[in-house]
Structures are given as C-alpha cells and as structure tokens.
Amino acid sequence: MKESDDILGRINRNDGTTVPEGYFADFAARITASLPARPELEDANNIVEMPRTTWQKIRPYAYMAAMFAGVWCMLKMFSLMSTPVDPLAIESYPELADALGDEQFMKQYVTDDLNQWELLDELAEDEFDLSDLPMPDSIDSESIHNLPENFQ
C-alpha cells in the first residue's frame, strides 16, 4: 500500500517549463532597459495636438444618424411583416372600386372582353354553384347538357 500512495513521486513531473530562480523579480526593469529611448514621450510639455478635420468632427453625428435610419428601417420592415396586407383586396384600391361600380365602365371595358365560357370556367374553378346563375340567351339548352360534370 505504501507504494501506491506515493504515485506522484514515482513520476518525473518535469515538463520543461521551468524558469531560473528570480527570473520574474526584475523582469520589467530588464525589458524597459532593452527598449530604445523615445524622448518625445518623456517630455509631457512637448505634446502637440493635431487639428481635427471636418470629417472627424461630424463623424459621430453621421454614425448616429445612420444608426437611427437603420433602426427606423428595421421597425418599418417588422411592421410590414406583422400586418398582413392583401394586395388584391379591393379596399386597397378605392379608384378601382369606383370604376367597377360604374355601369358604363363595366360595359365598355370589362363585359366586352369577357368570354362567357371563360367566366363559367373560372366560376367552376372557384367551386361556385352554377345552378344559382341565370343562363344567358346565347347558351342554348343543348350546350348546357354538353357541359362537363364539374359545371353542373
């Protein structure tokens, strides 16, 4: 048992990182002595202050303005992302809502460009019940019977 208690004594613990005795006692004095002399630093009355350029004078204010602009842009982006806006909503375009409410505008620009079959196709895609619609005179009863089953 005596041998196992002295395990650190049996291992050579010298890893090569030793320094001579008293090495750090006068370390700062030896480093200061080995540096070259700088007389401009030794005389405190000899300090000359360099003039500041215009950019050096306004730089803190320019940085602060850029910071506030960045914060404003970031908050604007957060508010745009948090409030869902439907770009196709009619409330977003009051001029368009007024135009669609004008019967003359609808007849002149919209109704002439509509193909009745295209309109029926779009209504069927939106799963609109076509039996609720009054059929125009140009669609005869024979054509209605030839419609695909998703139209009826």
H-type alpha helices, 39-136? 39-42, 54-82, 94-101, 103-105, 116-125
Instruction: Please tell me the distance from the alpha carbon of residue 42 to that of residue 37, in angstroms, as a whole number.
Output: 9
Amino acid identity for residue 29 in this structure? A
DSSP 113: G
Instruction: Please tell me the distance from the alpha carbon of residue 94 to that of residue 119, in angstroms, as a whole number.
Output: 24
Which stretches of the chain score pLDDT less than 50?
A: 152
Instruction: Please tell me the distance from the alpha carbon of residue 129 to that of residue 41, in angstroms, as a whole number.
Output: 93
- Mean pLDDT score across all residues of the chain: 77
Q: Is the pTM of this model over 0.75?
A: no
**pLDDT, position 76:** 92
